[in-house]
């Protein structure tokens, strides 16, 4: 049976049982049952399901990995982690995360003033780190956070930020927060996001600037506030080698600064980058998570020993690893494009062009032995007939018959081949794909697919006891040709041949909890899907924090239309019935509604 690589990317969080995808937790509900329950409350269109228990699981994993490694190597430094807010700032994701992290004193990382406000509001005692480019206001805000009792570290990206820190300290007389130095490493990360590291990186201080920064701090009697060295070599490192190099480089910078007299320097912040396995076909990550933690501890221990300094505390800011698996996007399939190619739509004539007669007999005579050959022949015939149409030799009715017959032959052939010779079919997948129209927007819900061709595991949530026979390309409902996930023969997606008039068919995209929510854009004014937290408590399942997809009128307000004006103009000269319809539609969301989708 086709399992869509769930054993590669699924981490046992989701399982297939009796043809259904189920949540592998508590009562093990099938995703289709969750979907039905939610839709019974009249929430239709695409759904975003969040599973806070999976966020909890990832936090537990992260802290356990390092606890194991610290024990194994008898490491003297402490382990700390912060969640980088840019990965997912939405309250329905974040509140459960903060709750889950309390027992570990799990903190937050902020990269902008808005994120810092979130951290200052919802983080009581856990550490806050601040990265990114900062102005005087943001640095001042850091001082205020410190005054309010937060355990905050401002990590500077350049000497100018340090100068502002000195300025704010002088002007406000407030106590200085902890200071970290982001170091610009020679050793770059791998992967699509590698621009964060390396000698020509946008971020961090060169070795000359590090020395200068230390001297500036010393001269201003603030060197006691230097507590942290930071690096972040890039997101989703699938290869561990760059990390090892970066650890060595930053470990030595830490030790050198200690030996220069930075007595309160006590931590190395290794940034994020723990990878998530998105592949449905072949593992892409070349290390285990425990190996990653062991390498961190082992490398830093050795450097501390070599340079005779205290073993540093460790901070990590991994976000993708914490957030990705918590969220599943469910999209109803609205249409299979070839659905109109039905035998009862044929308009055969008394006398048909010879190639059509030929197609007709292929269709009537096809059997399992000749399936592949007939399918090839039919595709050739169709190509010839389309040429004839362009030259004006056959009419529209003939062309329609040719298209229908060819699709019928392909379908029949596939159903024969399903039994015997499924492998063969892969060779000609490109020509016989089915297009599946999904009720969602790629721009809103999978922006990283659009922007950087990031793959996300996708599979149907039902029908898994049946062999999928259609090579599929997926189309969203935006009017944009980029709103397509094309069929890729190297990583083929097969879906079921379903009759949507008789049965429902949903696809789920997994691992969409990191970055997608906030990067999503309102192309064609499609807003976020309806979101729901699925919470398990004492074996009981609850649907919480339902956040419905935005109403059209609210979307228009968001982009600064005067909604009173819109109503006034629309309603000015209409009868009551029309008014009521307009008003209903304006107050509904923008996704498509068919009888069931």
Ligand X SMILES: *Cc1c(COP(=O)(O)O)cnc(C)c1O
For ligand X, the closer of residues 182 and 412 by Cβ is 182
87 binds ligand X (CB under 6 A): yes
Q: Which of 39, 44, 140, 232 binds ligand X (CB under 6 A)?
A: 232
Calpha distance 177→169 (Å, rounded): 10
Select from 45, 84, 180, 198 the one that contacts ligand X (CB under 6 A).
Answer: 84
Q: Which of 188, 235, 439, 454 binds ligand X (CB under 6 A)?
A: 235
Q: What is the DSSP letter of 175?
A: P
- Grouping H, G, I as helix, E, B as strand and the rest as coil, residue 182 is strand
Residue whose CB is less far from ligand X, 217 or 324: 324
Stretch of residues binding ligand X (CB under 6 A), selected from 141-149, 162-170, 266-274, 373-381: 266-274
Q: Which of these ranges, 82-90, 282-290, 490-498, 545-553, lies near ligand X under the rule CB under 6 A?
A: 82-90
| Closest to ligand X by CB, 318 or 325 | 318
Crossing angle of helices 241-260 and 289-306, in 10° steps, is 30
Dist. CA 194–CA 191, nearest whole Å: 6
Site residues for ligand X, 315-374, by CB under 6 A, read 317-321
The yes or no reply on residue 86 touching ligand X (CB under 6 A) is yes
- Which is closer to ligand X, CB of 276 or CB of 382? 276
Task: Report in angstroms how near the CB of residue 79 gets to ligand X at its nearest.
Answer: 16
Binding mask 100-139 for ligand X (x = CB under 6 A): ---------x---------------------x--------
Nearest distance in Å: CB 131, ligand X: 4
* Shortest reach from residue 597's CB to ligand X, in Å: 33
Kindly state the smallest distance separating residue 15's Cβ from ligand X, in Å. 26
Are the beta carbons of 246 and 187 closer than 8 angstroms? yes
CA distance 498 to 515: 33
Positions 541 through 570 that interact with ligand X (CB under 6 A): none
269-288: which residues touch ligand X (CB under 6 A)?
Answer: 271-274
**Minimum distance, C-beta of residue 178 to ligand X, in the bound complex (Å):** 16
Q: Which residues pair with 269 in a beta bridge?
A: 230, 315
> Which CB, 35 or 62, lies closer to ligand X?
62
- What is the torsion angle, in degrees rounded to the nearest 10, for the CA atoms of residue 446, residue 451, residue 454 and residue 459? 30
Number of residues that bind ligand X (CB under 6 A): 17
The number of beta carbons lying within 10 Å of the beta carbon of residue 350 is 4
Alpha helix positions (H), 123-240: 136-147, 159-172, 207-219
Helices (H), strands (E): how many in the chain?
Answer: 21, 20
Per residue, the 3-state secondary structure of 468-524, as one string, reads: CCEEEEEECCCCCCCCEECCCCCCCCEECCCCCCCCCCEEEECCCCCCHHHHCCCHH
Q: Is residue 236 involved in binding ligand X (CB under 6 A)?
A: yes
- Give, in order, the Cα–Cα distances in Å from 379 to each of 352, 412, 430: 18, 13, 12
Asked whether position 197 contacts ligand X by CB under 6 A, the answer is no
CB of 54 to ligand X, least distance (A): 16
Q: How far is CA 100 from CA 65, 79, 105, 555, in A?
A: 17, 17, 10, 33
Binding site for ligand X (CB under 6 A): 84, 86-87, 109, 131, 232, 235-236, 271-274, 317-321
């Amino acid at each position: 049976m086709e399992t869509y690589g769930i054993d590669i990317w699924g981490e046992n969080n989701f399982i297939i049982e009796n043809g259904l995808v189920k949540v592998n937790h508590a009562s093990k509900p099938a995703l289709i049952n969750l979907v039905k329950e939610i839709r019974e409350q009249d929430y239709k269109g695409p759904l975003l399901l969040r599973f806070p228990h999976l966020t909890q699981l990832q936090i537990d994993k992260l802290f356990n990995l390092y606890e194991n490694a610290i024990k194994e190597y008898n490491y003297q430094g402490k382990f700390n982690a912060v969640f980088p807010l840019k990965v997912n700032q939405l309250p329905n994701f974040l509140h459960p995360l903060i709750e889950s992290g309390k027992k570990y004193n799990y903190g937050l990382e902020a990269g902008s003033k808005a994120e810092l406000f979130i951290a200052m509001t919802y983080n009581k005692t856990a550490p806050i780190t601040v990265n990114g480019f900062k102005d005087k206001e943001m640095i001042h805000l850091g001082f205020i956070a410190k005054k309010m009792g937060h355990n905050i570290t401002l990590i500077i990206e350049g000497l100018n930020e340090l100068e502002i820190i000195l300025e704010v300290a002088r002007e406000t007389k407030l106590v200085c927060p902890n200071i970290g130095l982001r170091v610009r490493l020679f050793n770059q990360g791998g992967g699509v996001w590698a621009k964060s590291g390396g000698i020509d990186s946008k971020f961090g201080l060169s070795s000359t600037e590090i020395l200068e920064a230390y001297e500036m701090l010393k001269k201003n009697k603030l060197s006691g506030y230097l507590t942290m060295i930071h690096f972040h070599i890039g997101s989703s490192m699938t290869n561990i080698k760059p990390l090892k190099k970066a650890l060595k480089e930053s470990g030595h910078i830490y030790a050198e600064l200690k030996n220069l007299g930075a007595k309160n320097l006590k931590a190395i912040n290794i940034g994020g980058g723990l990878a998530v396995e998105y592949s449905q076909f072949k593992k892409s990550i070349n290390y285990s998570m425990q190996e990653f933690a062991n390498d961190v501890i082992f490398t830093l221990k050795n450097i501390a020993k070599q340079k005779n300094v205290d073993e540093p505390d460790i901070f990590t800011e991994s976000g993708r690893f914490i957030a990705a698996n918590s969220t599943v996007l469910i999209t109803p399939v609205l249409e299979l494009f070839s659905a109109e190619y039905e035998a009862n739509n044929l308009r055969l004539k008394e006398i048909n062009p010879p190639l059509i007669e030929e197609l007709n007999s292929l269709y009537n005579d096809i059997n399992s032995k000749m399936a592949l050959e007939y399918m090839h022949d039919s595709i050739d015939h169709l190509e010839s007939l389309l040429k004839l149409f362009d030259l004006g030799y056959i009419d529209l009715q003939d062309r329609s018959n040719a298209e229908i017959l060819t699709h019928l032959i392909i379908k029949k052939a596939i159903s024969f081949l399903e039994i015997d010779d499924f492998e063969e079919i892969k060779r000609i997948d490109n020509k016989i794909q089915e297009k599946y129209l999904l009720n969602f927007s790629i721009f809103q819900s999978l922006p990283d697919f659009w922007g950087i061709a990031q793959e996300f595991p996708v599979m149907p949530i039902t029908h898994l006891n049946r062999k999928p026979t259609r090579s599929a390309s997926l189309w969203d409902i935006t009017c944009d040709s980029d709103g397509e996930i094309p069929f890729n023969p190297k990583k083929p997606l097969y879906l079921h041949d379903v009759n949507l008039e008789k049965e429902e068919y949903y696809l789920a995209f997994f691992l969409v909890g990191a970055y997608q929510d906030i990067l999503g854009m309102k192309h064609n004014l499609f807003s976020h899907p309806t979101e729901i937290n699925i919470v398990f408590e004492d074996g009981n399942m609850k649907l919480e924090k339902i956040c419905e997809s935005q109403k059209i009128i609210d979307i228009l307000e968001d982009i600064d239309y005067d909604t009173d004006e819109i109503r006034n103009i629309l309603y000015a000269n209409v009868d009551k019935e029309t008014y009521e319809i307009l008003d209903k539609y304006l107050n509904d969301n923008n996704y498509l509604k068919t009888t069931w989708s």
